[in-house]
Amino acid sequence: MTESSNKTIMFSAGESSGDQHAANMFLELKKQMPKIKGIGMGGAKMQQAGIDISYDSAGIGVIGIFEVIKHYGEIRRALKQMKQLVASEKPDLLVCVDYKEFNLKLAQFAKQQSVKVLFYVSPQVWASRPGRVVTYGKAIDMMAVIFPFEVAYYEAESVPVKYVGHPSVDKVTPIRNKADDLIQFSLQDNKFIIGILPGSRINEINRMLPVMLGAAEKLAQSYKGVQFLLPQADSITDELLQSFLKNVDIDINVIKDQPYDVIQCCDVIMTTSGTATLEVSLLKVPMVIAYKLSAVTYFLAQYIVNIKYIGLPNIIAGKGIVKELIQHEATAENLAKEISEILDSTVYREKMMNELTIIKKKLGQGGGSKNMADLAVKMLRD
């Protein structure tokens, strides 16, 4: 019997990005402990990696107070089922991936059951409510952070913490080179190519895709032969996407399973806030960030959030290198105007691209998934 044959690791990932992070970590973990058993909550990527999914998280990946209230019943059912899984399986390690408030409650329960907890992707204590460091510290055995500057917040409160690197540094690798992708996607390199990244959550699609499509229609009137690409997230169904696309008179080339090939083809991208902005940065493609929350969530956020920017490129750089259009400013008109400025001004475009090189340098060499696997192995063996 091998060391890993009787070990069980449980994952809890409530969103598309967390599903991918957990899957990559588990694949790395299996290289060191081939017979380890993986169970938990997540999506298609985790299932493909060999994790036994007890709860599909596709319906609970929402952001905002109003959105959480709307899905409260389902979120509560998911938490109850995950607690039951912890109690019945007694995993050797629980890995909570992002999805902060849900996973905090699950981690607290796991600690009561004497289950070790590794939290992956820290809550953004640098953005709001820094007092949460102490709360999380009581519920976990180790906090794995993905930004170097986050370490100091936990060390200040003597919470075990380790910087593991941002998973996107390794993940953002196109399958083909750009020239081959242009052929693959039937694109003309002498016409502008604009990317549309409306998000990976259902409420993001509902709120942001109509705005982005409105901007695309305006841009199609200004730039003859302009081409639009939309990389479809795994968590978004064809039916949802087509319910919006059928209402526009322009061609949108929807591409599945090749997000980084899509991004590298683009001259400019309109994107929602989140991990996608970091992925676009790592490929050094100019962008504009747009985001809307429910009116209630946005109102409350103004009193809770204490940072100047919401876009990761701007937060990491410490300055506004990419335009952010938030809430009432996130209109089709404003999006089209910023996209036009990027396309029309070589100086503006090249300045943005040059400053995006800062992001990768600040994030380091990567190796996030392997570093997480190494950390998990250590915790499993201790």
Domain pair 8-165+367-381 / 178-363, same fold: yes
Among 246, 263, 134, residue whose Cα is nearest residue 197: 263
Between the alpha carbon of residue 309 and those of residues 20, 183, 258, the distances in Å are 25, 37, 29
DSSP string, 302-368: HHH---S--SHHHHHHTS--SEEEEGGG--HHHHHHHHHHHHH-HHHHHHHHHHHHHHHHHHTT--H
CATH 3.30.70.360, applies to 178-363? no
Q: What whole-number distance in Å separates Cα of residue 101 and Cα of residue 80?
A: 14
Q: What whole-number distance in Å separates Cα of residue 120 and Cα of residue 204?
A: 23
User: Encoding tokens for residue 122?
Assistant: 């820290």
Q: Which residues lie closer than 8 Å to 180 by C-beta, 6 or more apart?
A: none
CB-CB neighbours of 222 under 10 Å: 13
Pick the CATH number of 8-165+367-381 from 2.60.40.1890, 3.40.50.2000, 3.30.470.10, 3.40.1050.10: 3.40.50.2000
Q: What whole-number distance in Å separates Cα of residue 18 and Cα of residue 96?
A: 9
Q: What whole-number distance in Å separates Cα of residue 34 and Cα of residue 21?
A: 19
pTM of the model: 0.74
pLDDT in tens, the chain (382 residues): 345 558 999 999 988 888 989 999 999 999 999 999 999 999 999 999 999 999 988 777 665 555 666 667 888 999 999 999 999 999 999 999 988 889 999 999 999 999 999 999 988 776 556 678 999 999 999 999 998 888 988 999 999 999 999 888 888 999 999 999 999 999 999 999 999 999 988 889 999 999 999 999 999 999 999 999 999 988 889 999 999 999 999 999 999 999 999 999 999 999 998 889 999 999 999 999 998 876 666 566 665 666 688 888 998 888 999 999 998 999 999 999 999 999 999 999 999 999 999 888 888 777 889 999 999 999 999 8
Q: Indicate the DSSP class of residue 115.
A: -
Among 14, 12, 4, residue whose Cα is nearest residue 117: 12
Q: What whole-number distance in Å separates Cα of residue 378 and Cα of residue 382?
A: 6
Annotated domain spans of the chain? 8-165+367-381, 178-363
CB-CB neighbours of 191 under 10 Å: 12
List, for residues 258-284, the tens digit of each pLDDT value.
999 999 999 999 999 888 999 999 999
Among 275, 345, 339, 340, residue whose Cα is nearest residue 313: 275
User: Encoding tokens for residue 44?
Assistant: 């298609």
